[in-house]
Copies of this chain bind each other. A is one copy, B any other.
Amino acid sequence: MARWQPNASQRLVTAALELFEERGYENTTVIEIAERAGLTKSTFFRHFPDKREVLFGGGTMTGLVVQGIAAAPAGAGPLEAVAHALDVIGKEAFTLDRREFGARRQAVITANPELREREALKGLGLTASMVDALKRRGVPALTAHVAAELGALAWKIAYERWSDTTNDEEFGELARQTLAEVQAASALC
């Protein structure tokens, strides 16, 4: 038996997402989130550094991407390494059972500038990690930047497609396909 109700963080995330959906991010106070989770403001800030982060906490994403790029076959080019990373993400993070949660979360984020701002920053960090991982494979700096940007773009588009509930394809498969389209488009610039 635990001393307190378990999964405090998860309860906070759930409470927050519900409240954001019900009355919007700005009309929800941290105290209200904590109360719905059966906790207090103090405990909230012990689990998350700020109010926005409650929707960005699960982020082991960076590690997965870096690992995915590093683990790509030795002969693979930059974009192939990125595709490999997107595969890893699809298998480890974007599983079908998390799709609904992801879509709800994304809707809340899109509806609020403050949350979009945090998302943008996370995106920069992710892209920077991809660049580093590619450089570690021996890819020249500029090429690494370009590959990372194209990969991030494909990721974003693939995620939108994958979130569509009428589409049951695996994320990795969608991402590979999208990345190929992006690469083809880049040749037409």
Q: Which A residues contact B (CB, under 8 angstroms)?
A: 77-79, 113, 116-118, 120-121, 123-124, 140, 142-143, 145-147, 149-150, 152-153, 157, 181-183, 185-189
Interface contact B153-A149, CB-CB below 8 Å: yes
A8 to chain B, nearest CB (A): 25
Most chain B Cβ neighbours within 10 Å, of A78, A79, A117: A117
Interface contact A146-B153, CB-CB below 8 Å: yes
Copies in the complex: 2
Residues of B within 8 A of A116 (CB): 121, 124
Interface contact B143-A77, CB-CB below 8 Å: no
Interface contact A78-B189, CB-CB below 8 Å: yes
Partner pick for A117 among B121, B147, B185, B186, CB 8 A cutoff: B121
The prevalent SS among residues of A at the interface is helix
Partner pick for A153 among B113, B121, B123, B145, CB 8 A cutoff: B145
Residues of B within 8 A of A123 (CB): 120
Interface contact A189-B77, CB-CB below 8 Å: yes
A87-B107 Cα distance, complex, nearest whole Å = 37
Residues of B within 8 A of A147 (CB): 189
A78-B186 Cα distance, complex, nearest whole Å = 10
Interface contact A146-B182, CB-CB below 8 Å: yes
A83 to chain B, nearest CB (A): 11
A124-B115 Cα distance, complex, nearest whole Å = 13
Given contacts A117-B118, A121-B117, contact A146 B185 (CB under 8 A): yes
Interface contact A182-B142, CB-CB below 8 Å: yes
Interface contact B143-A185, CB-CB below 8 Å: yes
A185-B153 Cα distance, complex, nearest whole Å = 17
